[in-house]
Chain A
Amino acid sequence: MSLNHIMPVKFALPDLGENIESGDVIRILVAVGDRLAEDQTVIELETDKAVIEVPSSVDGTVTEILVQQGDTIAVGQPILEVEAGEAPAVEETPPAVEEAPPAPVPAEEPAPTPIPPASVVEEAPSVPTPISTDGPVPAAPSTRRLAREIGVDIAQVQGTGPGGRISIDDVKAHSKKLHAARGAAPAVAVPLPDFSQWGAVERQPMTKVREITAERLAQAWATIPQVTQFDKADITSLEKWRAEYGKKAETAGGKLTPTAILIKVLGIALKVFPQFNASIDIAQREVVYKRYFHIGIAVDTPHGLLVPVVRDVDQKNIIELAVELSALAQKTRERKIGPADMQGGSMTISNVGTMGGTAFTPIVNLPEVAILGVARSQVEPAYIDGQFQPRTFLPLSLSYDHRLIDGADGARFLRWVCTALEDPFIALLEG
């Protein structure tokens, strides 16, 4: 941590993740005059999720304690003041990452924690070596509950007990490691000029949706080497068919939109090309193949872009999907969906057709590996049977994670989708 070693520094309640905004101080574990080491537990905080031990991110001598037992404190609120001792002054070192050995440092240990060299930051949390290959996770019910409560996947925790048994301390150590790793990749803030020098400006806080969108997209952009491919599907006959059967969907309470049809086609395409229904677990060097077929739909709402997920599209017919989609889109626009409704997608569709455009490059919705962009359909001349004929074409853009999907597969996938739209019989044959 960057700390000033002469001026007293304040240690404030850090971001604890899991949307925790505040908590009650139930125990203060340090006193004025104490020598405080980095990572030493300072207070126990009771949040609505769990009791969390808050580790110090600074070291030095405690000069003042700014909270009292029973106080409700918010993230960012100062907890103590510390005067840095003989700890070496370091200017801009990256945020601390838990040291490699998993054994928790006893709180009494006076030795100042060495500042990790920059290279440590690169080190991902160590990949656990599972002791037992299958069967239930070796942890007591109370430990499993705590892990769920604080959002730790217990299967990823390295147990230090006999037979690989996972203790509550193991879970906490793992959680700390995750927090540290998360802290290691802060959102990049580019220094901004003073815009007012060029004219009037107004500042507004980002909405939560915008904030999350910004974070997600930056993350996807930074981690995924993306490629976008373009193709066009001749939907002339599909359009006729859509006009003919649209009534049927309407009677059922839905609208037979191209998106509804694309959801169905994509569901089948994912069966034919399973590597598009996957996620990359880079820490484990594994690919997670999904045996379910859920399609996310980018919905433009007054609050920003939201992506609700239509589940088990392989088990529903197009009319059912049309009905569900209409209802879901409505619910989404009214913000009546929860986070769970926006998770677990296999792949996403982003249809900007109603707004126009000939093609665009959608960004993959992490942790998915592909996204299908749909632009506005257009009537174009096509050279068929020795003459030009007016045909309707739907421009499609497929962005995918090049780490998992090779260019040839991308092209094949997109062509397959186009062919299936041109001749739905293909989808029936292969899906």
Chain B
Amino acid sequence: MDKAQLAVIGGGPGGYVAAFKAADLGLDVALIDPEAHPGGVCLYRGCIPSKSLLHISKLLYEAKEAEHWGIQFAEPEIDLDKLRSWKDEVVAKMTQGLGQLVRARKLTYVQGRARFVDPHTLQIDQADGRQGSLQFEHAILATGSRPAVPALFDQPSDRIMDSTGAVALHDIPPSMLVVGGGIIGMELGQVYAALGTQVSVVEMLPGLIPPADRDLVKPLHNTAAERFDEIMLNTQVTALAETDDGLAVQLQNSDGQSFSKTYAKILLAVGRVPNSEDLGLEHTVVGLDGRGYVQVDDQLRTAEPSIFAIGDLVGAALAHTAAHQGSLAAEVVAGHEKQVFAPHAIPNVVYTDPEIAWCGLTEEEAKEQDRSVEVVRFPWSASGRASTQGANDGLTKLLIDPQTDRILGVGIAGSGAGELIAEGVLAVEMAALAADIQHSIHPHPTLSETLMEAAESHYGQSTHLYAPKRR
């Protein structure tokens, strides 16, 4: 039987980071994943393909918008096969790169699916058809998540797709209903809208991107309202039937009104569920919560002393959270027994056009916790850089502790928000004060100045925004 000090099960951003870190710390590591190279959901069918397509979508819209500035392009011609293979190349290049890093670090990579036989042994159905088994001292479980499929949508139809189907880009349907106005639904909805699909969105809750503060969502909502056919909030799908020309969808809003519409396709984006079944967990004492997430402590330890769990499997829902958990779990396994996973700021980014990003405390959370915060907002209408790129609908805001001036949270809506939020994460993690941002020189003209000016306005007026004295 093969042996390893550490077995990492699942090669997504959680698993491969854990495996690499552990190897760098001197452990003898085996990494197991069904694909030929690591990457997981994020690289094969999540972050990377979706961001590639969003780049194209942004390009298409910018080209169109240029007509307001005197530049007229012809209608774009879309070579779908070429677009798809470009996206696939991006994915292949990155996953093969990870494969090289596996070899460089001399990890044992096993292509296959693993399950526990007991708390120290895995049985592996290898891709080459063989059955392997592996004895380990510790294991890190990182099997991730998959799209949730409510019973209503669980029917064999080519017209219903999940995010995996959407990034596979089989065709450009004439019309599409995106079920779920969260991050994945809005991102992929925009991709298809840019490619020419008539997109509608249905969301059960009263707003798009539910966890974000409403003022940050507004610019995206406005843009989506222009580009999409319809945004139906407070509305649910109640019935579904396949007809010759599409899917007849019965919808019901919160007033109880029902109506029916037909779409060529449905993109189901109502959340994800953890891959915690079929892992042989019954042979261990690893515990699951009511929704199937593996329960872990702040060191990512499960109830079974030899087994850790990380990433989407424990509810991370973000690739960078999975990666940091992976790194921490590897450290703990390697003997850094005092460290815990306790970040102060996890950035959330919606890569739509315009983007939304936030980290640390949100206004909504401050309200729930009944915590007094000062909120300063800097609208991008006062930003020179935003004007140069027609992005004046953006917004930067800081949540500040009124007693200490400490930055507790940052929210940004607008082009490039995902890049800008990194400064916010650093500020929150370092316990920076608004004065620290105010007095750090930011390059001009950039959108990063909006953070500096927001901080400045906390202490009075900011240079480019004059607000009558508040009282």
Interface residue ranges, A against B (CB under 8 Å): 48-49, 131-141, 144-145, 148-149, 151, 162-166, 338
Is B404 positioned at the interface, with any CB of A under 8 Å from its CB? yes
Please tell me if the beta carbons of A132 and B401 are within 8 angstroms of each other in the complex: yes
Bound-state CA distance A280–B335 (Å) is 32
**Neighbouring A residues of B305 by C-beta, 8 Å:** 338
Whole-angstrom CA separation of A148 from B401 in the bound complex = 25
25 A-B pairs within 8 Å (CB atoms) are namely A48-B335, A131-B404, A132-B401, A132-B404, A132-B406, A135-B361, A135-B406, A135-B408, A136-B428, A138-B406, A140-B429, A140-B431, A141-B429, A144-B342, A145-B339, A148-B338, A148-B340, A149-B339, A162-B433, A163-B433, A164-B404, A165-B431, A165-B433, A166-B431, A338-B305
Contacts of A139 in B (CB 8 A): 431
Q: How far is the CB of B152 from chain A (nearest CB, A)?
A: 35
Given contacts A132-B401, A134-B371, A140-B430, contact A163 B339 (CB under 8 A): no
CB pair B430–A163 under 8 Å, yes or no, is no
Contact residues in B for A149 (Cβ distance below 8 Å): 336, 338-339
A49 to chain B, nearest CB (A): 7
Q: Is B403 an interface residue (CB 8 A)?
A: yes
- Is B405 an interface residue when CB atoms closer than 8 A count as contact? yes
Which chain B residues numbered 393 to 415 have a C-beta less than 8 Å away from chain A?
Answer: 401, 403-406, 408
Q: Which residues of B contact A144 (CB under 8 A)?
A: 342
B344 within 8 A of A: yes
For the complex with contacts A131-B404, A136-B431, 6 further pairs of A-B residues with Cβ separation under 8 Å are A48-B335, A134-B371, A149-B338, A163-B404, A165-B431, A338-B305
> Does B435 interact with chain A (Cβ within 8 Å)?
yes
Chain A residues lying within 8 Å of B369, measured Cβ to Cβ, are 134
* Beta-carbon contact of B338 and A151 below 8 Å: yes
Interface residues of B in 353-411 (CB under 8 A from A): 361, 369, 371, 401, 403-406, 408
Interface residues on chain B, number (Cβ under 8 Å): 25
**Alpha-carbon distance between A151 and B338 when the two chains are bound, in angstroms:** 8
CA distance A138 to B401 in the complex (A): 11
Whether B431 pairs with A138 at a CB distance below 8 angstroms is yes
- Indicate if the CB atoms of B429 and A131 lie closer than 8 Å: no
* Chain B facing A: main interface SS: loop
Cβ distance A73 to chain B, nearest Cβ, rounded Å: 21
User: A131-B403, A135-B408, A140-B430 in contact; A148/B371 too (CB < 8 A)?
Assistant: no
Task: Tell me which of B342, B371, B428, B435 has the highest count of chain A C-beta atoms within 10 A of its own C-beta.
Answer: B342
State whether A163 and B338 are in contact (beta carbons under 8 Å apart), knowing that A134-B371, A138-B406 are contacts in the complex.
Answer: no
In the assembled complex, how far is the CB of residue A166 from the closest CB belonging to chain B, in whole angstroms? 8
Q: Nearest chain-B residue to A134 (Cβ)?
A: B371
- Closest CB-CB distance, A38 to chain B, in whole Å? 29
Query: In chain A, what residue has the closest Cβ to B335?
Result: A48
Does more than half of chain A's interface fall in helix, strand or loop, or is it mixed? loop
- Given A132-B403, A138-B406, is A49 in contact with B338 using a C-beta cutoff of 8 Å? yes
Kindly identify which residue among A138, A151, A338 contacts B404, using a CB–CB cutoff of 8 Å: A138
CA A131 to CA B305, docked complex, whole Å: 38
B185-197 vs A, CB cutoff 8 Å, 1 = contact: the mask equals 0000000000000
A148→B339 contact, CB < 8 A? yes
Chain B neighbourhood of A132, CB < 8 A: 401, 403-404, 406
Encoded as 1 (CB less than 8 Å from any A CB) or 0, chain B from 416 to 431 comes to: 0000000000001111
Q: What is the chain B residue whose CB lies nearest that of A165?
A: B431
Most central of B339, B371, B406, B428 by chain A CB within 10 Å: B406
Residue of A nearest to B345 (CB): A136
Docked Cα-Cα span, A149 to B340, in Å, equals 10
Chain A, residue nearest B297 (CB): A340
Report the Cα distance A134→B429, complex, angstroms.
15
Q: Bound state CA distance, A338 and B306, in angstroms? A: 13
Chain A hits for B339, CB < 8 A: 145, 148-149
Ordered nearest first, which 10 A-B pairs have the shortest CB separation? A138-B431, A163-B404, A136-B344, A148-B338, A140-B430, A165-B431, A163-B406, A163-B433, A149-B338, A132-B404
Kindly list chain B residues whose C-beta atoms are within 8 Å of the C-beta of A338.
305
How far, in angstroms, from A89 to B78 measured CA to CA in the complex? 91
CB neighbours of A141 from chain B (8 A): 343-344, 429-430
Question: In whole angstroms, what is the CA distance A291 to B406 when docked?
Answer: 31
Residues from chain B with a CB closer than 8 A to the CB of A48 are 335
The reply to whether A163 and B431 form a contact with Cβ atoms under 8 Å apart is: yes
Nearest to B342 among chain A residues (CB) is: A144
* Interface bits B83-110 vs A (CB < 8 Å: 1, else 0): 0000000000000000000000000000
Assembly CA distance A164 to B339 (angstroms):
23
| Choice from A134, A135, A148, A162 contacting B435 with Cβ under 8 Å | A162
Cα–Cα distance between A140 and B343 once the two chains are bound (Å): 10
* Distance, CA A152 to CA B408, complexed state (A): 24
Measured CB to CB, the closest approach of chain B to A151, in angstroms, equals 7
Name which residue of chain B comes closest to A131, CB basis: B404
Query: Do B405 and A163 touch across chains, with their CB atoms under 8 A apart?
Result: yes
Task: Across the interface, name the chain A residue whose C-beta is closest to B405.
Answer: A163
- Across the interface, which residues of B come within 8 angstroms of A145, CB to CB? 339
Q: Quote the shortest CB–CB distance from A160 to chain B (angstroms).
A: 13
CB distance from B368 to the nearest CB of A (A): 13
Which one of B343, B404, B436 has the highest number of Cβ atoms from chain A below 10 Å of its Cβ? B404
For A166, list chain B residues within 8 Å (CB): 431
Instruction: Report A-chain residues with C-beta under 8 Å of the C-beta of B408.
Output: 135-136
Contacts of B371 in A (CB 8 A): 134-135
Contact with A along B73-86 (1 / 0, CB 8 A): 00000000000000
For the complex, give the distance between the alpha carbons of A162 and B401 in Å.
Answer: 13
Residues of A within 8 A of B436 (CB): 162
Q: Give the shortest distance, in Å, between B306 (CB) and chain A (any CB).
A: 12
Q: How far is the CB of A147 from chain B (nearest CB, A)?
A: 9
Chain B residues within 8 Å of A137, by CB: 431
Chain B residues with Cβ under 8 A from A136's Cβ?
344, 408, 428, 431
Cα distance A49–B403 in the bound complex, in angstroms: 36
Q: Which of A136, A138, A139, A338 has the most chain B CB within a 10 Å cutoff?
A: A136
Given contacts A49-B338, A148-B340, A149-B339, contact A135 B401 (CB under 8 A): yes
Q: Considering the chains assembled together, what is the distance between the CA atoms of A48 and B335 in angstroms?
A: 9
CA distance A131 to B404 in the complex (A): 8
Q: Report the separation of the CA atoms of residues A135 and B373 in the bound assembly, to the nearest whole angstrom.
A: 11
Closest to B436 in A: A162
Q: How far is the CA of A381 from the CA of B92 in the complex (A)?
A: 84
In the bound complex, how far is the Cα of B433 from the Cα of A376, in angstroms?
64
B406 to chain A, nearest CB (A): 5
**CB-nearest residue of chain A to B303:** A311
Residues in chain B near residue A165, CB distance under 8 A = 431, 433
CB distance from A360 to the nearest CB of B (A): 34
Closest A residue to B402 by beta carbon equals A132
**Chain B residue with Cβ nearest A341:** B305
Contacts of B338 in A (CB 8 A): 49, 148-149, 151
Nearest opposing residue in chain B for A18, CB measure: B338
* Residues in B neighbouring A134, C-beta threshold 8 A: 369, 371
Chain B neighbourhood of A135, CB < 8 A: 361, 371, 401, 406, 408
Residues in A whose Cβ lies below 8 Å from that of B430: 140-141
Mark B154-177 against chain A: 1 for CB-CB distance below 8 A, else 0. Answer: 000000000000000000000000
* Nearest CB of chain A from residue B304's CB, rounded to whole Å: 13
For the complex, give the distance between the alpha carbons of A188 and B371 in Å: 49
- Nearest residue (CB) in A for B407 is A163
Chain A residue contacts of B401, Cβ below 8 A: 132, 135, 163
In the bound assembly, the distance between CA atoms of A246 and B379 in angstroms comes to 72
Q: Give Cα A97–Cα B371 distance, bound, in whole angstroms.
A: 39
Interchain nearest-CB distance for B77 vs A (Å): 49
**Most chain A beta-carbon neighbours within 10 Å: one of B336, B338, B431:** B431
- How far is A163 from B458 in the complex, measured between Cα atoms in Å? 15
How many Å from the CB of B309 to the closest CB on chain A? 18
User: In angstroms, how far is the closest chain B Cβ from the Cβ of A206?
Assistant: 25
Complex Cα distance A256/B149, Å?
A: 45
Residues of B within 8 A of A151 (CB): 338
Q: How far is the CB of A141 from chain B (nearest CB, A)?
A: 5
In the complex, what distance in Å separates the CA atom of A139 from the CA atom of B366?
20
Q: How far is the CA of A151 from the CA of B340 in the complex (A)?
A: 12
Q: Kindly identify, within residues 323 to 340 of chain B, every residue whose CB is under 8 Å from any CB belonging to chain A.
A: 335-336, 338-340
